[in-house]
Amino acid sequence: MPDRRCKRIFAMLSEYVDGDLPVKNCRELELHLKGCAPCIAYLESLKNTVEACRRYQVPKVRRPSKKVREALRSALR
Amino acid sequence: MNRQIEAALNTLKSGNPEEIERAIETLQGVVYGFGMKFCGSREDAEDTAQETLIRLARQLRDFPSARGLAVWLYKVAKTQCLMSRRKSKFAPAQMLSLDELMPKDSVLSAEGVKSWQFTPEQVVLNNELRSLLESAVLSLPKPYRMVLILRDMEQLDTREVANVMGISEETVKMRLHRARVYVRNALGGDFTKTWKGRRQPGGAKRRSLAAAEGEARHA
């Protein structure tokens, strides 16, 4: 990412991925991406990072303790 | 936000006895999962789930909507995680600078990126990527880690994350971008072999929170 424009684009990438970037900035970013292979590649890898986070799951959990179940059941009575 | 949570909370609030057990297990899974992602320790995650759900029992009737209750649930879980006894192995205390996270003199090839793209059928991460992702997330400074987990893993929206964290939506966006870049660079270190001159996230220079956030406002 060699120049100042890349640096400016770099700061906008997450908002672009989330669809939160204002239209004016969106146009600027998309215009830049047409001629900047490293920024395109970085954007793709950032999207993949977000996708990896979304797909990440922790292993199955044990059943809730008796204490927790009783507290919730008692609250519902 | 995960619809499972709202559905489970609605079930508890409605008091349907046949579905209560399943709803409690769902909530236990959600809070335990959140605790594991943030603390990286099964004991801390179990403590977080237990304390949070017991507090939930006391609050169940005070919230008119399940969504409001879900945000409250994450607030309590967040506080429990921050109070956890076992500190993350790698967690640095300081903040991240976007300048330092930005790749320098890099050549990122399309082939390198393709090697970790996902197909629609690939629902579960492979073990290598999963392990790298866990290490990267746990090595994030806590304020960034919390935002990334809430937004990208728990899939709360920006406003909900701001509410849970007690910060502005702009600060959520700024922290989220830095956290994503940090994690991407950590994964890229292994997955994009042709990217030269990169710096490992752990070696990135860190600045004070005020300096880092001031920088974002002027970006």
Digitized pLDDT (tens) for each residue of chain B, 219 residues in all: 677 888 888 887 777 777 888 888 888 899 999 999 999 988 899 889 989 988 888 887 777 777 888 888 999 999 999 887 655 555 555 677 877 777 765 444 444 444 556 666 666 677 888 888 999 999 999 999 999 999 999 999 999 999 999 999 999 999 999 999 999 988 875 444 333 333 334 444 444 444 545 544 444
Contact A58, B131 (CB under 8 A): no
Residue type (1 letter), A32: H
Find the distance separating the first CA and the last CA of chain A, reported in whole Å: 61
Task: Please answer yes or no on whether A68 and B54 come within 8 Å at the CB atom.
Answer: yes
Lowest mean pLDDT among A15-24, A48-57, A65-74, B190-199: B190-199
In chain B, residues 106-145 whose CB comes closer than 8 Å to chain A: 106-110, 112-113, 116-118, 122-125, 129-130, 133-134, 137
ipTM at complex level? 0.90
Token digits for A54?
């979304």
Cα B85 → chain centroid: 19
